[in-house]
Amino acid sequence: MRVLLPLALSIAMILPAFAAKTHDAPPRHHDEHSWAEPDKVVIRDLGLDLRVDFGKKQLRGSADLALTWKDPAARELLLDTRDLSIAKVLGKSGDGNWRRLQFSLGERDAIFGQKLTIRMKRQYDIVRIRYATAPEASGLQWLEPSMTAGKKHPFMFSQSQAIHARSWVPLQDTPGVRYTYSAHIETDPELMALMSADNAPDASRDGDYVFRMQQPIPSYLMAISVGDLVFRPISERAGVWAEPGTVDVAVKEFADTERMIQTTEQLYGPYRWERYDLLILPPSFPFGGMENPRLSFITPTVIVGDKSLTSLIAHELAHSWSGNLVTNASWKDMWLNEGFTSYVENRIVEAVYGTDLSQMENVISQFGLHAEMQEMAEERQVLALPALPGVDPDEALTDVAYIKGAWFLEFLEQRFGREAFDPFLRSYFNHFAFQSIDTAQFVEYLNSELIAKNPDAVTQKELDAWLNQPGIPAFATAAKSARFDAVDAARKAFLDGRKSAGELLTAAWTTQEWVRFLEGMPEVLTGQQAVDLDEAFKLTTSDNGEILQRWFPLTVRSGYFEARPAIAQFLQRIGRRKLVMPTYEALVATPDGKEFARQVFEKAKPGYHPITTASVEALLAKKP
């Protein structure tokens, strides 16, 4: 009991902005990216009945929202939508009769879409909304057969994070509201439909599919995909869905998935989602992966034949504990999702693939964070971000949430030791399971369950430095890798002219070592250096996106025009935002490069996801 007073004082000291709850300062839980009013009413269950129309690039049908009313006086239901056509809204209560309800759509906001206001004379248990999506829905991508691996059938997939679920379902599009859902999906019978739900590995392909997600999830984790998809098992509870031409290489690359699940269970408690399957998407997928529960969406760009990029699978799997199980209540606390996940990912990599790989990946991550923060405003460098009412959360997501968040947890691990910190994390995931929380709640739990038991390990000032101050604290311990020492020595020997590229001992290098080698290069190479590297290592024709992400910008800055045809092919073939944006950014630095980028983008755009398209268009629109 003696910790209660110091605990209250420490939370107020570390998070002063969170402690002051006034009419002008909403509580930390408040989500400024949603029109929903979860203090009055919340969705507890969602029932979808949708038809997939590839000809019109449209989903149409109905959404049944089962509601829990918290405010007896409330007579309005506010929902988030973006470019949805609302045909009718009905309400039903205990008498079983549907009654037509009045509704209106607010003015369209470029970031948030349109507020859907449903008015009623009394509170209804279920509200049914009949609607259709727009062909340009930001959360859906429709691919022509030519844009797929098989080239025979169309493909559609969703990307709901951060606030794109509202573009294909009218709902409370906030991570602070969790609900269960079911769905009836109709599509062409030659295509398979999947969702972030109970996909049956032996499901018959007949165009009529039913799904159920029994665990409550936030809206950004709702997902759908339809295409020429087949299944191959990895274990009893894990497997791969992919196009027929991709599935076997994917199963081979991701064969360690079950071992990863077991490792994480040993560390942090049972896997609570029954199955863990991977869906391999076409190269236009804008992210490396998306942690949709039961069915992680995965980019094919990590299939490189040597398992060197399978830490992505570790990351998406880790979300089954951090993010999916314990979720940030709003996007300003994104570090609670991504920082914890990046930390758990590294622990999985260490256990499955060894300390060398985990150390190398940590060094690469921290290097990237330092580089990104050099171009970032200080107020964006904190873990517990201030309210972001006018900022698209897609653009607000930076390496700070991922890498500074993981670094903070590594700091706690170092101070308390794994023998104390691992049980703490396990208890944290269990205590907040299937809840959405904020940073203040984490700090309170940290103080009561870890710091109170070892009060000399960490000071409140140190916590404040990690959570609320910009940059990386001066007392933080940076990651190190002995294998990178050899890489750095090889690069220096090349740059000093003591060795040609062909004389460097690189035959056993992993992807991570190549990344380190290229990231340490000067901003600009001489023409001879670029030629020497390319002739020795065939970098321009590499199939490894992580290598090309670093090599192509270097060739642009160095005036190595011989790489331009390969750059054009790469930018037109890959839509993963992380991989293509560095090259676009290098190109737009000069008028000639910007014109080249514009021409390439016009050809690439039809195969890009709307998220990647928006990022490139914003870059091209910037004035010099």
Check whether 75 is labelled as a binding-site residue.
no
Check whether 30 is labelled as a binding-site residue.
no
Check whether 151 is labelled as a binding-site residue.
no
Going through 136-270 in order, the beta strands assigned E by DSSP cover 140-143, 155-158, 178-186, 192-195, 208-218, 224-227, 230-233, 238-242
- Say how far apart CA 38 and CA 491 lie, in whole Å: 56
* DSSP-assigned letter for residue 211: E
Buried b (16+ CB within 10 A) or exposed e, 290-305: bbbbbbbbbbbbbbbe
Q: Please choose, from the candidates 576, 558, 557, 556, the residue with its C-alpha nearest in 3D space to the C-alpha of residue 566.
A: 556
Check whether 512 is labelled as a binding-site residue.
no
The catalytic residue among 181, 343, 402, 584 is 402
Check whether 576 is labelled as a binding-site residue.
yes
Copy the structure tokens of residue 153. Answer: 């059938």
Residue 325 φ then ψ, to 5°: -85, -50
> Strand 102-105's sheet: what is its strand order?
76-81, 114-119, 102-105
Check whether 585 is labelled as a binding-site residue.
no
Q: Please choose, from the candidates 85, 98, 69, the residue with its C-alpha nearest in 3D space to the C-alpha of residue 77.
A: 69
Number of CB atoms found within 10 A of residue 542's CB: 18
Check whether 33 is labelled as a binding-site residue.
no
Number of CB atoms found within 10 A of residue 66's CB: 18
124 noted as active-site residue: no
Copy the structure tokens of residue 248. Answer: 């076997």
Check whether 370 is labelled as a binding-site residue.
no
Residue located via tokens 């991709």: 246
Residue located via tokens 């190479």: 525
* DSSP-assigned letter for residue 408: H
Q: Check if the beta carbon of residue 101 is closer than 8 Å to that of residue 118.
A: yes
Check whether 444 is labelled as a binding-site residue.
no
Check whether 94 is labelled as a binding-site residue.
no
Alpha carbon distance, N-terminus to C-terminus of the chain: 61
Number of CB atoms found within 10 A of residue 378's CB: 10
- Say how far apart CA 83 and CA 58 lie, in whole Å: 12
**Which region holds residue 538: left if phi is over 0, alpha if psi is between -120 and 50, else beta?**
left
The angle at the Cα of 519, spanning 516 to 520, to the nearest 5 degrees, equals: 85
Check whether 578 is labelled as a binding-site residue.
yes
The catalytic residue among 316, 345, 513, 546 is 316
Q: Check if the beta carbon of residue 342 is closer than 8 Å to that of residue 402.
A: yes
- Say how far apart CA 358 and CA 483 lie, in whole Å: 11
Check whether 414 is labelled as a binding-site residue.
no
Stated as kind and residue range, the H or E segment containing 53 is: strand 41-53
> Strand 238-242's sheet: what is its strand order?
230-233, 238-242, 276-280, 295-298, 289-290
Check whether 288 is labelled as a binding-site residue.
yes
**Which region holds residue 61: left if phi is over 0, alpha if psi is between -120 and 50, else beta?**
left
Q: Check if the beta carbon of residue 325 is closer than 8 Å to that of residue 434.
A: yes
- Say how far apart CA 76 and CA 89 lie, in whole Å: 13
316 noted as active-site residue: yes
Q: Which residues are annotated as a binding site for a peptide?
A: 159-161, 286-291, 576-578
Q: Which residues are annotated as a binding site?
A: 159-161, 286-291, 315, 319, 338, 576-578
Query: Which residues carry out catalysis?
Result: 316, 402
Q: Which residues are annotated as a binding site for Zn(2+)?
A: 315, 319, 338
